[in-house]
Chain A
Amino acid sequence: MKALVFERSVARLVAARAAGTWRPGGGARFGALRLEEVDPPARPGADWRRITPILAGICGSDLSTVDGKSSRYFEPIVSFPFVPGHEVVARLDAEDAPTAGIGAGARVVVEPVLGCAARGIVPMCDDCSDGHTGNCRHVAFGHIQPGLQTGFCADTGGGWSGGMVAHDSQIHAVPDSFSDEDAVMVEPTACGVHAALAAGPVSDSTVVVLGAGTLGLTVVAALRRLALPGHLIVAAKHPVQRQWATELGADEVVDPGGVARAVRRRTRSLAAGRVLTGGADVVVDCVGSADSVEQAVAVTRPRGRVVLAGMPGAVRLDLTPLWHKEVQLAGAYAYGTETAPGRPDRGGPRTFALAFEVVEAARLGRLVGARYPLERYAEAMAHAADAGRRGTVKVVFDPTARTRPTWRTA
């Protein structure tokens, strides 16, 4: 079968980094990603299923990996060579046994975290036991190779291929009412849900979302449907992002350079130079750059909260405002079990269950703007890296396609 394979190669990573710096997404053409003919991955155990990807999204973390810009923090918790692709809607193999009430041949979405259950680790770590699988402490252990998620593990394969495997604990049935585009948006939406709920109670709060790519927009959709912030300001760079942010529930959409002014005005603060006397209660940073983190802290009120949802990498920051204003800086990675307004405090809903709700309510499949066959991966990566400017939000691979890309403007 065809698969896009990412190999460990210092020379190629250097080339990818250079190309990615020159032109974001350019690492696909010169780096460690190759289209190859490979054998389908073997099932690591009886509770694993063979699935055939229908659509697989390109995520910001994928772009960082392909452009050689991911943090070295990940090195011990990924295994090479791996097939990327963790935003996956797939079909269970027809001859595979049914699992958890999902019939053979059904469409499924993969919850990619490879926690204790998938790794066959007994007893499970405390976080997995509590449902916080994203915080699993065993992602480098167990009977499969290291990999924090499907798409970064040599044993499981990934969505950018003609076939992969998934553990029963990772599989979610897709309702018939969902299009394939809706389904492929479930995983990124789960990240958005998790980040939105990491903001805490925000019903009377001013909340700012920095960035309006896929992650930012799913955070907006999740906030509007699950957390109901008092006033939601979104920083969006491109017209298509502004349009979607408004449609998904932002009260105010501003250019990135206008965030401080919007927050100052909304909170009726004064300003001494760049220091506001007030600020937003919560800022969700969906960019993850040094500039965005500094901006997030700058516009957060004293004792407010910054949720870091965008993958940051190594950044250089002036943390004086964070120290002076006693701002809380919290990470938000992946998914697990959530505490949400109007939901039980204990044994709360799974993030993926909420993500299905949000995708359906907001019809987030509409964010999928371009589909590429695997063969055109370099173009796909370049498009994904430049999606906003090109009027697109989400770019996906269609591993079954051999045609020219189908284009749908948002």
Chain B
Amino acid sequence: MSPRPGYVLEVDRSTPATLMWHGEGFHLERLPAGRSRVVYPPEPLEPLSDPDGAVRHALENPVGDSAPLSALLRPGMRLTIAFDDVSLPLPPMRAPDVRQRVIEAVLDAAATAGVDDVMLVAALALHRRMTESELRHALGNRIYDAFAPHGLLTQHDAEDPDNLVHLGLTDAGEDVEINKRAATSDLLVYVNINLVAMDGGHKSVATGLASYRSLRHHHNVRTMVHSRSFMDQEHSELHSANWRMGRLIAASGVKVFQIETTLNTDTFPEPFGFLSRREWEWTIRDRAAFLASSRALERTPDRFRRSILHGIRAPMGLTSVQAGEVEAVHALTTANVYRQQLVAVEGQSDILTMGLPYICPYNVNSIMNPILVMCLGLGYFFNLYRGKPLVRPGGVVILSHPTPWAFDPVFHPSYIDFFEQVLADTTDPLEIEAKYEEAFATDPWYIHLYRTGHAYHGVHPFYMWYWGAHALDHVGKVIIVGGDQAAVRRLGFKPASTMRDALEMAEDVVGRDPSVVHIHNPPILMADVS
């Protein structure tokens, strides 16, 4: 039986309550009957039955203007293999991670061809450095133990002037500065996990291996406000900027062999399988699992609860792998992402509700701080659309998340200052960008922590805020249900105790009896709004 496509449920009086994530927990919520819709993701696609075979086939049967990988490899060459970092996939997938599968295949080919100058680079951009256990999980012990002890498993350092190279300016005057090892290799193989439509393509190298000097040209408010959405390549200024840079990189002589992979949305293992199922189809076992897990999580101390949830390994399966020339590869990948995630939705609503889970790309093994709550809700979830946003202009977004005033001082040191000092002054993205970005981006302490510890770069919280700039520009009000009131207010949003209260508060903006749309995410879906 083939998996069912996504579904838009019209809520009526007989509709069972809807499961809603609430940070490190979840609950059931009733949405107003007769005027609410719930958008459910498609069921997970069938995974490839022979993923290793599919990878080998892709490497030897490239798409676009590219020779097979084996033909690109020769003794004496410099080969660099870059790979996506810990921010993908979410949750981390069960071992073996798809990066391990692909890189092992690439290394087999390199060994067969007699290539011995091989270096691996985690494409961090301005993300935190991965820990050893995270690297071992992504690459497998065999790769880690073969490369790390010899200094051949590195993590991109966007603040190391000796290991960056400026390739020039795009037609739009954008600096293109990337990792020197990657740029000066005879072949750069980039291994992607394309979790959402934004991932991959020229963004892989132009962003993942770039410096702040380069990134600031598209990680800014103007780009984000003009990316509608940044998940939709046809209407994304972020995409356009990365494409300009990627083409300049190619024109500079950097030979990129792009490998992109797509995963199905088999997101939660048993006993959390009910999280992926539609409520009216829950079995007695699902109901019992929901009750047991939601109550157990409520009663579990914070630290332990977090470790349980961050210990979840998604049973995701590989649905496609394609390799070769960047743009040709990415066209196929995008079609495969859409095949899994796209759901047709008719028309916009007055109110968009979302239950935000415990994890986003930037808090793997860590706390979802308030800035990341904003970014996940107004950045990622809001932008998971093609066509039009799910909520009308001037409408209301309601997020459900505890939004604790809590930060990880090791991973997110500049976030603390951003929250306590920048947001205390203003929440306007343009004002924040003009007034504060440079000081944070060039702060020597943040740079030190980024380069030597496991800290996100000093400018990273700014990017998180810019990620939500389009939503802030579009909607009339943002309400967070069940959040720490002081933290929610610091974000510039309105706190509400219950969803019912939030819906009433929203009526002040959108009028009485508003239409409501809820995205049942995760598993990830992308709304195709007509």
Contact present for A265 and B444 (CB under 8 Å): no
Contact present for A252 and B444 (CB under 8 Å): no
A residues 240-275 near B (Cβ < 8 Å) are: 242, 252-255, 257-258, 261-262, 264-265, 268-271
Given A253-B424, A254-B424, A261-B417 contact (CB < 8 Å): yes
Q: Interface of chain B, helix or strand or loop or mixed?
A: helix
Is B421 in contact with chain A by the CB < 8 A criterion? yes
Contact present for A255 and B444 (CB under 8 Å): no
Chain B residue with minimal CB distance to A242? Answer: B424
B residues 429-483 near A (Cβ < 8 Å) are: 439-440, 443-445, 448
Contact present for B420 and A261 (CB under 8 Å): yes
Contact present for A262 and B421 (CB under 8 Å): yes
Chain A residue with minimal CB distance to B416? Answer: A261
Contact present for A255 and B420 (CB under 8 Å): yes
Q: How far is the CB of A239 from chain B (nearest CB, A)?
A: 10
Pick from A252, A268, A270, A271: contact of B421, CB below 8 A.
A252
List, in ascending order, chain B residues with CB within 8 A of A268's CB.
443-445
- CA distance in complex: A270, B446 (Å): 9
Pick from B424, B425, B439, B448: contact of A265, CB below 8 A.
B439
Contact present for B417 and A265 (CB under 8 Å): yes
Contact present for A265 and B416 (CB under 8 Å): no
List, in ascending order, chain B residues with CB within 8 A of A269's CB.
445
Given A265-B439, A265-B443, A270-B448 contact (CB < 8 Å): yes
Q: How far is the CB of B529 from chain A (nearest CB, A)?
A: 40
Give the size of the chain A interface in residues (CB under 8 angstroms). Answer: 15
Q: How far is the CB of A147 from chain B (nearest CB, A)?
A: 43
Contact present for A271 and B420 (CB under 8 Å): no
Give the size of the chain B interface in residues (CB under 8 angstroms). Answer: 12
- CA distance in complex: A277, B440 (Å): 18
Given A258-B420, A265-B417, A270-B439 contact (CB < 8 Å): no
- CA distance in complex: A254, B445 (Å): 19
List, in ascending order, chain A residues with CB within 8 A of B445's CB.
264-265, 268-271
Contact present for B444 and A270 (CB under 8 Å): yes
List, in ascending order, chain A residues with CB within 8 A of B424's CB.
242, 253-255
Given A261-B416, A265-B439, A254-B444 contact (CB < 8 Å): no
- CA distance in complex: A271, B453 (Å): 13
Q: How far is the CB of A263 from chain B (nearest CB, A)?
A: 11
Contact present for A254 and B443 (CB under 8 Å): no
List, in ascending order, chain A residues with CB within 8 A of B440's CB.
265
- CA distance in complex: A258, B415 (Å): 12
Chain A residue with minimal CB distance to B458? Answer: A265
Q: How far is the CB of B342 from chain A (nearest CB, A)?
A: 44
Quick one: which of A265, A268, A269, A270 has the most chain B CB within 10 A? A265
List, in ascending order, chain A residues with CB within 8 A of B425's CB.
252
- CA distance in complex: A314, B125 (Å): 52
List, in ascending order, chain A residues with CB within 8 A of B444's CB.
268, 270
Q: How far is the CB of A406 from chain B (nearest CB, A)?
A: 30
Contact present for B448 and A254 (CB under 8 Å): no
Q: How far is the CB of A276 from chain B (nearest CB, A)?
A: 9
List, in ascending order, chain B residues with CB within 8 A of A271's CB.
445
- CA distance in complex: A268, B445 (Å): 7
19 pairs of residues in contact across A and B, judged by CB atoms under 8 Å: A242-B424, A252-B425, A253-B424, A254-B420, A254-B421, A254-B424, A255-B424, A257-B420, A258-B421, A261-B421, A262-B417, A262-B421, A265-B421, A265-B440, A265-B443, A265-B445, A268-B443, A270-B445, A270-B448
Q: Which residues of B contact A (CB under 8 A)?
A: 416-417, 420-421, 424-425, 439-440, 443-445, 448
* Chain A to chain B: the 3 pairs with minimum beta-carbon distance, closest first: A258-B420, A261-B417, A270-B445
